[in-house]
């Protein structure tokens, strides 16, 4: 296979307006440049850098994570020095057609997104047994990595995290008509500037895709909304439920359906199904948290979708507004932590 192709690599500089975007798409074993996006507010300003770019131009620095799909490494461009996250998705182990379709879906959806609260997708390469995604490197890892060190996150910082995730969700839901479907701590990445970005679109569904594709039961069960785990139809507000679960977990320091921090083994699928579908939704204890926070969690964790607040309306919720002009710097919190690479899982 021919490895080198002249490609334009877009490197994000500052949050402002998109000027232009270029990336490449993987199709039928070949890479093809994809078209530029129109100008739109609230997206990343991209400064274009034109240079030859191939997988061989990247050198591995360190493995930074491992998920069910494969390994994620910090890599560096050999001459230019840019850092990226290289996510390898192994196509070995006789991956089923369904999984392969999901992987290609992740590429298709992710490469079409340009938002300062969605992890940048720069490139994809196909080698015989693997697909490699070149992603924006988020140097403080995921919210799950942060939680492993701090155990709980205080309300002012949580408001800053929530606002950024909501901005990402509003972009996905309202601009791109995409339901993420796998919002969970390990898919919310953080960098030293205190930016929070959504990643992993392997199980995302565009609202315009055929209904059948949207109804398959994929994604992480623990953060799934009642309508999703019970196999009913669902909409963008299922991501809002997942966000509510994540936020509550960050506040109380344990997965909300677990009784205590060391509350024994993780619930299995049927226990989870019973808890999520049959029990009242979890809530923030009002004696430990502000009324605004309790109300925010409750607005997310409504079992009936019609009663759940949309991502766009949550952006103006009193909990988010309360800390907006307080200049809370999440960068200080995450900057004080051990790098996830040095912190054992
Ligand atoms: P799952 O298998 O359920 O998807 P996961 O989300 O943890 O779990 P991956 O998406 O493969 O699996 O990511 C593994 C870990 O790698 C993440 O938890 C995070 O710590 C790290 N990681 C992923 N993407 C990046 C990135 N762009 N920058 C920095 N670290 C990343
Ligand atoms: Mg992930």
Banded pLDDT at 345 (limits 50, 70, 90):
low
d(CA 215, CA 181): 11
3-state secondary structure of 123: strand
Ligand 1 neighbours by CB, cut-off 6 Å: 64-69, 72, 85, 87, 119, 135-138, 141-142, 144-145, 186-187, 189, 199-200, 220, 340
pLDDT at 86 over 60: yes
| Strand residue runs (E) in the chain | 6-15, 23-27, 30-34, 44-52, 58-66, 71-77, 83-90, 121-127, 130-136, 178-179, 188-190, 196-198, 205-206
CB 163 within 8 A of CB 330: no
Asked whether the predicted pLDDT for residue 166 surpasses 80, the reply is yes
The pTM for the full model equals 0.82
Q: What mean pLDDT is predicted for residues 114-135?
A: 88
Taking only the tens place, the pLDDT of each residue in 299-309 is 999 999 999 99
| pLDDT category of residue 121 using cuts at 50, 70 and 90 | confident
List Cβ neighbours of 177 (8 Å cut-off, separation of 6 or more).
Answer: 206, 207, 208
Strands 58-66 and 83-90, bridge-based pairing = unpaired
Residue 206: the pLDDT is: 52
**Please, what's the b/e burial string for 185-221 (b: 16 or more CB within 10 A of its CB; e: otherwise)?**
bbbbbbbeebbbbbbbbbbbbbeeeeeeebeeebbbe
| Main-chain phi, psi angles of 105, to 5 degrees | -65, -40
pLDDT at 98 over 90: no
142, 146, 168, 222, best to mutate for ligand 1 pocket (most atoms within 8 Å of CB): 142
Task: Give the CA distances from residue 317 to residues 74, 129, 175, 269, in Å, rounded to whole numbers and listed in that order.
Answer: 37, 47, 20, 33
Average pLDDT over all residues of the chain = 79
pLDDT at 234: 92
What pLDDT shows up at residue 28? 39
* β-bridge mates for residue 49, sequence order: 9
Residue 62 annotated as binding site: no
Q: So what's the architecture of 141-204+215-336 in CATH?
A: Orthogonal Bundle (1.10)
- Answer yes or no: are the C-beta atoms of 119 and 140 closer than 8 Å: no
Alpha-carbon distance values, 305 to 44, 208, 214, 232, 248 (Å): 31, 19, 16, 11, 19
Is the pLDDT at 21 greater than 50? The verdict is: no
Range 55-136: architecture per CATH = 2-Layer Sandwich (3.30)
Question: What are the tokens at 327?
Answer: 């200049």
C-alpha span between 93 and 73 (Å, rounded): 21
Q: Which bound ligand lies closest to the C-alpha atom of 195? A: 1
Give the Cα separation of 182 and 188 in Å (integer): 10
Q: From the CA atom positions of the chain, what is the Rg in Å?
A: 20
Question: Quick one: tokens of 338?
Answer: 């051990």
| Best-predicted range by mean pLDDT (21-35, 80-94, 152-166, 245-259) | 152-166
pLDDT digits (tens, 9 = 90+) for 190-223: 999 999 999 987 655 555 444 444 445 455 789 9
Q: What is the pLDDT of residues 272-288, one digit of tens each?
A: 899 999 999 999 999 99
Top-confidence residue, 46 or 164: 164
Q: Given a cut of 70, is residue 41 above it in pLDDT? A: no
> Is 106's pLDDT higher than 80?
no
Mutate to test the pocket of ligand 1, among 65, 136, 191 (most ligand atoms within 8 A of CB): 65
| Alpha helix stretches (DSSP H) within 24-152 | 97-111, 143-150
Given 182, 200, 235, 287, the catalytic residue: 182
Instruction: Show the tokens assigned to 46.
Output: 């991209």
First to last CA, the chain: 37
Q: Where in the chain do CATH 1.10.510.10 domains reside?
A: 141-204+215-336
**Distance between CA atoms of residues 156 and 247, nearest Å:** 12
Ligand with an atom nearest the CA of residue 144: 1
* Span 238-255, average pLDDT: 96
- Residue owning the nearest CA to atom 16 of ligand 1: 65
- Residue intervals of the chain classified under CATH 3.30.200.20 are 55-136
Residue 32's pLDDT is: 35
* Closest by Cα among 173, 313, 181, 312 to 239: 181
pLDDT of residue 49 exceeding 70, the answer is: no
- Separation in Å, CA 81 to CA 64, 78, 139, 202: 18, 6, 15, 29
Give residue 261's pLDDT.
56
- State the pLDDT confidence band at 48, using cuts at 50, 70 and 90: very low
């Amino acid at each position: 296979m021919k490895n080198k192709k002249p490609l334009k690599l877009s490197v994000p500089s500052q949050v402002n307006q998109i000027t232009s975007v270029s990336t490449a798409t993987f199709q039928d074993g070949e890479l093809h440049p994809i078209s530029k996006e129109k100008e739109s507010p609230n997206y990343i300003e991209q400064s274009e850098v034109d240079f030859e770019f191939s997988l061989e131009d990247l050198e591995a620095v360190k493995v930074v994570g491992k998920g069910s799909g494969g390994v994620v490494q910090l890599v560096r461009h050999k001459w230019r020095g840019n850092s990226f996250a290289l996510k390898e998705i192994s196509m070995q182990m006789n991956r089923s057609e369904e999984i392969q379709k999901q992987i290609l879906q992740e590429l298709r959806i992710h490469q079409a997104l340009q938002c300062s609260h969605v992890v940048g997708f720069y490139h994809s390469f196909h080698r015989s047994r693997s697909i490699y995604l070149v992603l924006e490197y988020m140097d403080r890892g995921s919210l799950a990595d942060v939680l492993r060190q701090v155990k709980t996150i205080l309300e002012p910082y949580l408001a800053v995290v929530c606002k950024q995730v909501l901005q990402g969700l509003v972009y996905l839901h309202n601009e791109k008509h995409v339901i993420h479907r796998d919002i969970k701590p390990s898919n919310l990445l953080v960098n030293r500037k205190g930016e929070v970005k959504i990643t992993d679109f392997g199980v995302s569904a565009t609202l315009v895709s055929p209904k059948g594709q949207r109804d398959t039961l994929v994604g992480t069960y623990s953060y799934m909304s009642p309508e999703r785990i019970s196999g009913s139809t669902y909409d963008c507000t299922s991501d809002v439920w997942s966000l509510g679960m994540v936020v509550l977990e960050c506040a109380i320091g344990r997965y909300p359906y677990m009784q205590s921090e060391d509350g024994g083994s993780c619930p299995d699928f049927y226990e989870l199904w019973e808890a999520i579908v049959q029990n009242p939704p979890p809530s923030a204890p009002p004696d430990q948290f502000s009324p605004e926070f309790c109300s925010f969690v409750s607005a997310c964790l409504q079992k009936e979708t019609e009663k759940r607040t949309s991502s766009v309306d949550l952006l103006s919720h009193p909990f988010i507004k309360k800390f907006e002009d307080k200049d809370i710097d999440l960068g200080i919190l995450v900057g004080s932590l051990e790098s996830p690479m040095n912190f054992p899982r």
